[in-house]
Amino acid sequence: MNHFVSTGDFTRADLTRLLESARSLRHRAPRTDLAGKSVGLVFFNPSLRTRVSMEIAVTSLGGHAVAMDVGANVWPMEWLEGLRMEGAAAEHVKDAANVLSKYCDAIAIRSFPDGKDWKEDRLDPVLRAFVKHAKVPVINMESALWHPLQALADILTVADEVKGDPAGHKITLTWCTHPKALPLAVPNSLALAATQFGMDLTIACPVEYELPEEVMSTLNANVKSGGGSVRVVHDQDAGVEGAEFVYAKSWGSLRTYGRASEGMRDRTRYRDWRVTEERMARTANGRFMHCLPIRRNVVADDAVIDSPTALVYTQAANRLVVQKAVLLKLLGNTK
Ligand code: CP
Protein backbone atom coordinates (compact mmCIF):
# COMPACT_ATOMS: atom_id res chain seq x y z
CA MET A 1 0.00 0.00 0.00
CA ASN A 2 1.21 3.44 -0.93
CA HIS A 3 0.90 5.64 2.19
CA PHE A 4 2.32 9.10 2.97
CA VAL A 5 3.34 8.91 6.63
CA SER A 6 6.81 10.47 6.85
CA THR A 7 9.30 11.97 4.41
CA GLY A 8 11.65 9.33 5.84
CA ASP A 9 9.77 6.69 3.83
CA PHE A 10 10.98 8.35 0.61
CA THR A 11 14.37 8.98 -0.98
CA ARG A 12 15.74 12.44 -1.69
CA ALA A 13 15.07 11.76 -5.39
CA ASP A 14 11.41 10.88 -4.65
CA LEU A 15 10.98 14.03 -2.60
CA THR A 16 12.70 16.18 -5.21
CA ARG A 17 10.24 14.85 -7.81
CA LEU A 18 7.38 15.77 -5.47
CA LEU A 19 8.77 19.32 -5.16
CA GLU A 20 9.06 19.59 -8.95
CA SER A 21 5.48 18.36 -9.29
CA ALA A 22 4.36 20.90 -6.65
CA ARG A 23 6.00 23.75 -8.57
CA SER A 24 4.30 22.64 -11.77
CA LEU A 25 0.95 22.78 -10.00
CA ARG A 26 1.23 26.51 -9.23
CA HIS A 27 -0.93 28.93 -11.20
CA ARG A 28 -2.74 26.11 -12.94
CA ALA A 29 -6.37 26.00 -13.94
CA PRO A 30 -8.56 23.44 -12.14
CA ARG A 31 -7.75 19.85 -13.15
CA THR A 32 -9.70 16.62 -13.38
CA ASP A 33 -7.05 14.09 -12.24
CA LEU A 34 -9.11 13.09 -9.20
CA ALA A 35 -12.50 13.17 -10.95
CA GLY A 36 -14.79 10.62 -9.33
CA LYS A 37 -12.42 10.19 -6.36
CA SER A 38 -13.07 11.06 -2.73
CA VAL A 39 -10.66 11.77 0.11
CA GLY A 40 -11.74 11.50 3.74
CA LEU A 41 -10.08 14.05 6.04
CA VAL A 42 -10.27 12.80 9.63
CA PHE A 43 -9.41 15.42 12.27
CA PHE A 44 -8.85 14.35 15.86
CA ASN A 45 -7.49 17.89 16.50
CA PRO A 46 -8.09 21.45 15.29
CA SER A 47 -6.52 22.87 12.15
CA LEU A 48 -6.74 25.92 9.93
CA ARG A 49 -4.06 25.50 7.23
CA THR A 50 -4.18 21.73 6.85
CA ARG A 51 -7.94 21.51 6.73
CA VAL A 52 -8.51 24.35 4.27
CA SER A 53 -5.55 23.55 2.01
CA MET A 54 -6.37 19.82 1.86
CA GLU A 55 -10.02 20.49 0.99
CA ILE A 56 -8.99 22.95 -1.71
CA ALA A 57 -6.21 20.66 -3.01
CA VAL A 58 -8.62 17.75 -3.49
CA THR A 59 -11.32 19.96 -5.03
CA SER A 60 -8.96 21.74 -7.42
CA LEU A 61 -7.80 18.35 -8.73
CA GLY A 62 -11.43 17.47 -9.50
CA GLY A 63 -12.01 15.24 -6.45
CA HIS A 64 -14.34 15.44 -3.47
CA ALA A 65 -13.10 15.99 0.09
CA VAL A 66 -15.12 15.01 3.18
CA ALA A 67 -13.84 16.55 6.41
CA MET A 68 -14.71 14.85 9.69
CA ASP A 69 -14.14 16.15 13.22
CA VAL A 70 -13.80 13.20 15.55
CA GLY A 71 -16.10 13.55 18.55
CA ALA A 72 -17.96 16.49 16.97
CA ASN A 73 -19.59 15.51 13.66
CA VAL A 74 -18.36 11.90 13.68
CA TRP A 75 -18.22 9.54 16.68
CA PRO A 76 -15.45 9.70 19.24
CA MET A 77 -12.99 6.89 18.40
CA GLU A 78 -10.93 4.29 20.25
CA TRP A 79 -7.74 2.92 18.68
CA LEU A 80 -6.39 0.44 21.23
CA GLU A 81 -7.35 -3.11 20.36
CA GLY A 82 -9.00 -5.66 22.62
CA LEU A 83 -10.52 -3.10 24.99
CA ARG A 84 -14.00 -3.30 26.42
CA MET A 85 -15.24 0.00 24.97
CA GLU A 86 -17.10 1.43 27.96
CA GLY A 87 -15.58 4.94 27.75
CA ALA A 88 -16.47 7.96 25.61
CA ALA A 89 -15.55 6.33 22.29
CA ALA A 90 -18.49 4.90 20.37
CA GLU A 91 -16.51 3.77 17.32
CA HIS A 92 -13.25 1.85 16.87
CA VAL A 93 -10.62 3.01 14.37
CA LYS A 94 -10.65 -0.55 12.99
CA ASP A 95 -14.28 -0.11 11.94
CA ALA A 96 -13.92 3.53 10.88
CA ALA A 97 -10.91 2.73 8.68
CA ASN A 98 -12.63 -0.23 7.05
CA VAL A 99 -15.86 1.72 6.43
CA LEU A 100 -14.11 4.84 5.12
CA SER A 101 -12.11 2.59 2.77
CA LYS A 102 -15.43 1.60 1.17
CA TYR A 103 -16.30 5.24 0.46
CA CYS A 104 -12.97 6.99 -0.03
CA ASP A 105 -9.95 6.57 -2.29
CA ALA A 106 -7.61 7.88 0.42
CA ILE A 107 -7.93 8.71 4.11
CA ALA A 108 -5.99 11.61 5.63
CA ILE A 109 -5.51 11.70 9.40
CA ARG A 110 -4.62 14.42 11.91
CA SER A 111 -3.91 12.86 15.30
CA PHE A 112 -1.80 14.69 17.86
CA PRO A 113 -0.17 12.73 20.69
CA ASP A 114 -2.06 12.03 23.87
CA GLY A 115 0.78 13.84 25.69
CA LYS A 116 0.74 11.62 28.79
CA ASP A 117 3.22 8.81 28.11
CA TRP A 118 6.01 9.17 25.56
CA LYS A 119 6.48 5.39 25.41
CA GLU A 120 2.95 5.16 23.98
CA ASP A 121 2.98 8.33 21.88
CA ARG A 122 6.27 7.44 20.18
CA LEU A 123 4.45 4.50 18.58
CA ASP A 124 2.11 6.94 16.80
CA PRO A 125 -0.86 4.73 17.77
CA VAL A 126 -3.76 6.49 16.02
CA LEU A 127 -2.05 6.93 12.67
CA ARG A 128 -0.64 3.39 12.84
CA ALA A 129 -4.10 2.00 13.57
CA PHE A 130 -5.47 3.68 10.43
CA VAL A 131 -2.50 2.41 8.39
CA LYS A 132 -3.11 -1.09 9.74
CA HIS A 133 -6.82 -1.21 8.97
CA ALA A 134 -7.34 1.06 5.95
CA LYS A 135 -7.62 -0.53 2.52
CA VAL A 136 -6.71 2.73 0.73
CA PRO A 137 -3.69 5.07 1.03
CA VAL A 138 -3.36 6.93 4.33
CA ILE A 139 -1.99 10.49 4.35
CA ASN A 140 -0.48 11.92 7.53
CA MET A 141 -1.84 15.43 8.21
CA GLU A 142 0.24 15.57 11.46
CA SER A 143 0.59 12.70 13.84
CA ALA A 144 2.32 12.30 17.19
CA LEU A 145 5.69 11.99 15.45
CA TRP A 146 5.60 13.54 11.99
CA HIS A 147 4.13 16.38 9.93
CA PRO A 148 5.49 15.46 6.48
CA LEU A 149 3.23 17.77 4.44
CA GLN A 150 4.49 20.75 6.45
CA ALA A 151 8.12 19.65 6.13
CA LEU A 152 7.81 19.24 2.38
CA ALA A 153 6.25 22.70 2.07
CA ASP A 154 9.09 24.07 4.23
CA ILE A 155 11.78 22.50 2.03
CA LEU A 156 10.02 23.84 -1.08
CA THR A 157 10.11 27.29 0.55
CA VAL A 158 13.84 26.96 1.25
CA ALA A 159 14.62 25.59 -2.23
CA ASP A 160 12.77 28.46 -3.91
CA GLU A 161 14.51 30.95 -1.65
CA VAL A 162 18.01 29.67 -2.49
CA LYS A 163 16.93 29.19 -6.11
CA GLY A 164 18.20 25.65 -6.24
CA ASP A 165 19.36 22.78 -4.11
CA PRO A 166 18.94 23.25 -0.32
CA ALA A 167 22.06 21.10 0.23
CA GLY A 168 24.78 22.91 2.15
CA HIS A 169 22.55 25.81 3.18
CA LYS A 170 22.37 26.67 6.87
CA ILE A 171 19.11 26.26 8.76
CA THR A 172 18.61 26.65 12.50
CA LEU A 173 15.65 24.98 14.14
CA THR A 174 15.25 26.89 17.37
CA TRP A 175 13.10 25.87 20.30
CA CYS A 176 11.06 28.77 21.69
CA THR A 177 9.13 29.22 24.89
CA HIS A 178 5.37 28.58 24.94
CA PRO A 179 2.64 28.29 27.58
CA LYS A 180 1.92 24.69 26.53
CA ALA A 181 3.97 21.55 25.90
CA LEU A 182 3.43 21.23 22.15
CA PRO A 183 3.87 18.08 20.03
CA LEU A 184 7.20 17.14 18.45
CA ALA A 185 5.88 16.39 14.95
CA VAL A 186 6.95 19.67 13.31
CA PRO A 187 10.50 19.82 14.72
CA ASN A 188 11.01 16.10 14.05
CA SER A 189 9.85 16.42 10.45
CA LEU A 190 11.67 19.68 9.70
CA ALA A 191 14.93 18.22 11.07
CA LEU A 192 14.40 14.98 9.18
CA ALA A 193 13.68 16.68 5.85
CA ALA A 194 16.54 19.19 6.27
CA THR A 195 19.02 16.32 6.66
CA GLN A 196 17.39 14.31 3.87
CA PHE A 197 18.15 17.30 1.62
CA GLY A 198 21.76 17.64 2.85
CA MET A 199 21.32 20.94 4.68
CA ASP A 200 23.59 22.14 7.51
CA LEU A 201 21.17 21.86 10.41
CA THR A 202 21.62 23.44 13.83
CA ILE A 203 19.12 22.53 16.53
CA ALA A 204 19.13 25.19 19.26
CA CYS A 205 17.27 24.16 22.39
CA PRO A 206 17.64 24.01 26.17
CA VAL A 207 19.22 20.73 27.23
CA GLU A 208 15.85 19.36 28.42
CA TYR A 209 14.35 19.84 24.95
CA GLU A 210 16.59 17.72 22.77
CA LEU A 211 14.73 15.77 20.10
CA PRO A 212 14.06 12.05 20.66
CA GLU A 213 17.14 9.82 20.45
CA GLU A 214 15.67 7.78 17.61
CA VAL A 215 15.12 10.97 15.58
CA MET A 216 18.67 12.17 16.29
CA SER A 217 20.04 8.77 15.18
CA THR A 218 18.15 9.09 11.89
CA LEU A 219 19.45 12.65 11.37
CA ASN A 220 23.02 11.49 11.93
CA ALA A 221 22.53 8.55 9.58
CA ASN A 222 21.15 10.89 6.90
CA VAL A 223 24.17 13.18 7.25
CA LYS A 224 26.51 10.19 6.99
CA SER A 225 24.85 8.87 3.86
CA GLY A 226 23.79 12.07 2.13
CA GLY A 227 26.03 14.92 3.32
CA GLY A 228 25.22 18.09 5.19
CA SER A 229 25.63 18.30 8.96
CA VAL A 230 23.71 18.34 12.22
CA ARG A 231 24.69 19.88 15.54
CA VAL A 232 22.85 20.67 18.76
CA VAL A 233 23.56 23.84 20.76
CA HIS A 234 22.01 24.93 24.03
CA ASP A 235 22.29 28.68 23.52
CA GLN A 236 19.80 30.45 21.25
CA ASP A 237 22.12 33.34 20.31
CA ALA A 238 24.90 30.93 19.31
CA GLY A 239 22.38 28.74 17.51
CA VAL A 240 21.13 31.45 15.14
CA GLU A 241 24.61 32.90 14.43
CA GLY A 242 25.21 32.82 10.66
CA ALA A 243 21.94 31.02 9.87
CA GLU A 244 20.34 31.55 6.45
CA PHE A 245 17.03 30.25 7.79
CA VAL A 246 15.73 30.47 11.35
CA TYR A 247 12.88 28.01 11.93
CA ALA A 248 11.18 28.79 15.25
CA LYS A 249 9.08 26.18 16.99
CA SER A 250 8.17 25.21 20.51
CA TRP A 251 7.86 21.61 21.61
CA GLY A 252 7.43 19.68 24.84
CA SER A 253 10.30 18.14 26.79
CA LEU A 254 10.71 14.38 26.88
CA ARG A 255 12.12 14.80 30.39
CA THR A 256 8.85 16.18 31.79
CA TYR A 257 6.53 14.47 29.30
CA GLY A 258 3.01 14.20 30.71
CA ARG A 259 3.93 16.23 33.82
CA ALA A 260 2.38 19.60 33.01
CA SER A 261 3.40 21.60 36.08
CA GLU A 262 7.07 20.54 35.91
CA GLY A 263 7.09 21.32 32.19
CA MET A 264 5.61 24.74 32.91
CA ARG A 265 8.42 25.48 35.42
CA ASP A 266 10.98 24.64 32.71
CA ARG A 267 9.32 26.78 30.13
CA THR A 268 9.12 29.70 32.56
CA ARG A 269 12.87 29.30 33.17
CA TYR A 270 13.44 29.59 29.41
CA ARG A 271 10.99 32.40 28.68
CA ASP A 272 13.68 34.46 26.93
CA TRP A 273 13.97 31.78 24.21
CA ARG A 274 12.12 33.94 21.69
CA VAL A 275 13.05 35.13 18.20
CA THR A 276 13.67 38.86 18.35
CA GLU A 277 15.03 41.39 15.88
CA GLU A 278 18.28 41.35 17.87
CA ARG A 279 18.59 37.61 17.39
CA MET A 280 17.76 37.84 13.67
CA ALA A 281 20.55 40.43 13.39
CA ARG A 282 23.02 37.63 14.29
CA THR A 283 22.02 35.61 11.22
CA ALA A 284 23.39 35.82 7.69
CA ASN A 285 20.46 37.95 6.50
CA GLY A 286 18.43 34.97 7.67
CA ARG A 287 14.85 34.35 6.70
CA PHE A 288 12.36 33.65 9.50
CA MET A 289 10.21 30.52 9.28
CA HIS A 290 7.38 29.04 11.35
CA CYS A 291 4.66 26.55 10.44
CA LEU A 292 1.89 28.64 12.09
CA PRO A 293 -0.18 29.05 14.17
CA ILE A 294 2.23 31.16 16.19
CA ARG A 295 1.82 32.90 19.55
CA ARG A 296 3.00 36.42 18.73
CA ASN A 297 5.48 38.04 21.11
CA VAL A 298 5.93 34.70 22.89
CA VAL A 299 7.58 32.51 20.21
CA ALA A 300 8.70 35.44 18.05
CA ASP A 301 8.18 39.17 18.13
CA ASP A 302 5.71 40.95 15.86
CA ALA A 303 8.65 42.80 14.34
CA VAL A 304 10.14 39.48 13.16
CA ILE A 305 6.92 37.80 12.02
CA ASP A 306 5.83 40.93 10.12
CA SER A 307 9.25 41.73 8.68
CA PRO A 308 10.22 41.22 5.04
CA THR A 309 12.54 38.40 6.21
CA ALA A 310 9.58 36.26 7.24
CA LEU A 311 8.51 33.38 5.00
CA VAL A 312 5.59 32.19 7.10
CA TYR A 313 2.87 32.94 4.57
CA THR A 314 4.92 31.45 1.72
CA GLN A 315 5.28 28.27 3.78
CA ALA A 316 1.51 28.18 4.25
CA ALA A 317 0.92 28.81 0.54
CA ASN A 318 3.29 25.98 -0.34
CA ARG A 319 1.19 23.54 1.70
CA LEU A 320 -1.46 23.70 -1.02
CA VAL A 321 0.78 22.79 -3.96
CA VAL A 322 2.76 20.18 -2.02
CA GLN A 323 -0.48 18.46 -1.04
CA LYS A 324 -1.71 18.52 -4.63
CA ALA A 325 1.56 16.82 -5.62
CA VAL A 326 1.16 14.16 -2.90
CA LEU A 327 -2.47 13.53 -3.89
CA LEU A 328 -1.46 13.17 -7.54
CA LYS A 329 1.32 10.76 -6.60
CA LEU A 330 -1.04 8.59 -4.53
CA LEU A 331 -4.22 8.86 -6.55
CA GLY A 332 -3.48 10.39 -9.93
CA ASN A 333 -2.79 8.39 -13.05
CA THR A 334 0.63 9.96 -13.51
CA LYS A 335 3.23 8.81 -10.95
N1 CP B 1 0.85 24.29 10.11
C2 CP B 1 -0.29 23.62 10.31
O3 CP B 1 -0.35 22.37 10.16
O4 CP B 1 -1.35 24.42 10.60
P5 CP B 1 -2.76 23.92 11.12
O6 CP B 1 -2.53 23.27 12.47
O7 CP B 1 -3.62 25.14 11.21
O8 CP B 1 -3.30 22.91 10.15
Structural domains in the chain?
7-146+319-331 (3.40.50.1370), 149-315 (3.40.50.1370)
Q: What is the mean pLDDT of residues 275-289?
A: 98
Ligand 1 pocket (Cβ < 6 Å) reads 47-50, 142, 150, 291-293
> Which ligand 1 atom is at minimum distance from the Cα of 315?
1
How far is the centre of ligand 1, averaged over its atoms, from the C-alpha of 295 (Å)? 13
Provide φ and ψ at 188, rounded to 5°. -55, -50
pLDDT, position 265: 83
Compute the distance between CA of residue 106 and CA of residue 38 in angstroms, rounded to an integer.
7
pLDDT the model gives residue 176: 97
Q: Give the number of the atom of ligand 1 that is nearest the alpha carbon of residue 292.
A: 1
Q: Which residues pair with 249 in a beta bridge?
A: 175
18 neighbors 322 (Cβ within 8 angstroms): yes
Measured between alpha carbons, how far apart are the two ends of the chain, in Å?
A: 14
Q: What per-residue confidence (pLDDT) applies to 334?
A: 47
Which pLDDT score is estimated for 335?
40
H-run or E-run covering 61: none
Decide: pTM greater than 0.75.
yes
Q: What's the mean per-residue pLDDT of the chain?
A: 96
Q: Which of 142, 143, 152 to mutate to test the pocket of ligand 1 (most atoms within 8 A of CB)?
A: 142
Pocket of ligand 1, candidates 112, 292, 295: which has the most ligand atoms within 8 Å of its Cβ, to mutate?
292
